[in-house]
């Protein structure tokens, strides 16, 4: 059987005698022949060339990574580096899993096309119905929100939802604040983080702090381009309403009324807000104290969050 001799085999042959054994006759005979010397020199040349190329590639990589736009991604973490753009989908999947956990594993409602044995068995095996986790049980969604946020640090919704439930059902505003700080580090220009921080501050009764956050949210909102237009309108209305109530607390009913007018221009159906605006414009104060209204809004927001989830699932 013929085999193709490898370079290493050829080298061994060069060092060996005709019969394949080392040649007898002392050190002089062990000096490699001329072709072997040339081959060795060639290898050294290749090695040097590889080293030089490697050094050049390393230098180029260092140079490129010094560019600010690439440094921005450097902090995205190992998951982001490994998954690339896929992380956006992965993050969404984790977020959906959080939703599933919130509904105790009962999946989305689908109209049954077939009513065969397999469909019936699937229905028996898989949990179905409409349930929510309550109290501290809600915390079980946190790992999935954590995974969603770490798969895509720009998934602001994952952070804000986590902060909302941590501050509410879990009674851990300190942890919620930590989550929002992390969100802010990863998304310094996103108004939603400031909006949630403002909500958290209102919940804790830190109204001055809340005003600062809502002001920042309002400024960043103006710079926001793209996104769901309807959601943007709803968010702006929320920022303006909160800020209006905080203006009332600060003793500035005129600015509060201006904010409410902006909201009612966007949503003419908000009659109670319209009444409040008129009251402020006429009497400079409203019958319901702003603190009471802030509490009511926070409570309503909690209910609406759960309801919105259900509406999205049924869609």
# of chain residues touching another protein (CB under 8 A): 29
Residue 142 is a binding residue for another protein (CB under 8 A): yes
Residues 300 and 309: their CA atoms lie apart, in Å, by 14
- Applying the rule CB under 8 A, the residues between 40 and 99 that interact with another protein are 97
Residues 217 and 194: beta-carbon distance below 8 Å: yes
In whole angstroms, the minimum distance from the beta carbon of 220 to another protein comes to: 24
Residue 119 is a binding residue for another protein (CB under 8 A): yes
Q: 């490898």: which residue's tokens? A: 6
Residue 109 is a binding residue for another protein (CB under 8 A): no
In whole angstroms, the minimum distance from the beta carbon of 74 to another protein comes to: 22
Given the rule CB under 8 A, which of 60-68, 112-120, 233-241, 275-283 is the region that contacts another protein? Answer: 112-120
CA distances from 60 to 54, 65, 143 (A): 10, 9, 39
Residues 217 and 191: their CA atoms lie apart, in Å, by 4
Residue 113 is a binding residue for another protein (CB under 8 A): yes
Which of the 8 DSSP states describes residue 153? T
Residue 166 is a binding residue for another protein (CB under 8 A): yes
In whole angstroms, the minimum distance from the beta carbon of 125 to another protein comes to: 6
Q: Please give the structure tokens belonging to residue 299.
A: 């409570």
Q: 């509490």: which residue's tokens? A: 295
Residues 193 and 234: their CA atoms lie apart, in Å, by 15
Residues that bind another protein (CB under 8 A): 97, 101, 104-105, 110, 112-114, 118-119, 121-122, 124-127, 139-140, 142-144, 146, 162, 166, 170, 172, 175, 178-179
């Amino acid at each position: 059987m013929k085999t193709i001799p490898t370079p290493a085999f050829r080298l061994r042959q060069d060092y060996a005698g005709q019969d394949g054994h080392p040649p007898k006759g002392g050190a002089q005979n062990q000096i490699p022949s001329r072709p072997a010397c040339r081959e060795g020199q060639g290898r050294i040349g290749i090695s040097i060339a590889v080293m030089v190329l490697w050094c050049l590639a390393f230098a180029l990589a260092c140079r490129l990574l010094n560019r600010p736009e690439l440094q921005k991604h450097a902090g995205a973490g190992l998951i982001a580096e490994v998954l690339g753009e896929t992380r956006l989908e992965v993050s969404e999947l984790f977020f959906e899993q959080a939703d599933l956990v919130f509904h105790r594993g009962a999946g989305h409602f689908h109209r049954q096309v077939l009513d065969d044995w397999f469909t019936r068995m699937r229905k028996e095996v898989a949990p179905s119905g409409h349930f929510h986790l309550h109290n501290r049980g809600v915390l079980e969604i946190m790992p999935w929100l954590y995974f969603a946020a770490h798969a895509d640090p720009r998934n602001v919704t994952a952070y804000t939802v986590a902060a909302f439930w941590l501050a509410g059902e879990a009674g851990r505003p300190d942890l919620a604040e930590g989550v929002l700080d992390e969100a802010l580090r990863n998304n310094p220009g996103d108004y939603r983080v400031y909006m949630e921080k403002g909500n958290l501050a209102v919940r804790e009764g830190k109204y001055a702090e809340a005003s600062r956050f809502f002001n920042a949210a309002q400024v960043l909102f103006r710079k926001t381009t793209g996104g769901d237009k309807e959601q943007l309108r709803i968010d702006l209305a929320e920022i303006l309403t909160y800020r209006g109530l905080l203006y009332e607390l600060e003793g500035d009913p005129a600015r509060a009324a201006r904010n409410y007018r902006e909201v009612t221009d966007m949503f003419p159906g908000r009659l109670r807000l319209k009444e409040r605006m008129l009251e402020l414009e006429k009497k400079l104060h409203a019958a319901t104290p702003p603190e009471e209204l802030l509490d009511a809004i926070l409570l309503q927001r909690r209910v609406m969050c759960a309801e919105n989830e259900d509406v999205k699932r049924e869609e």
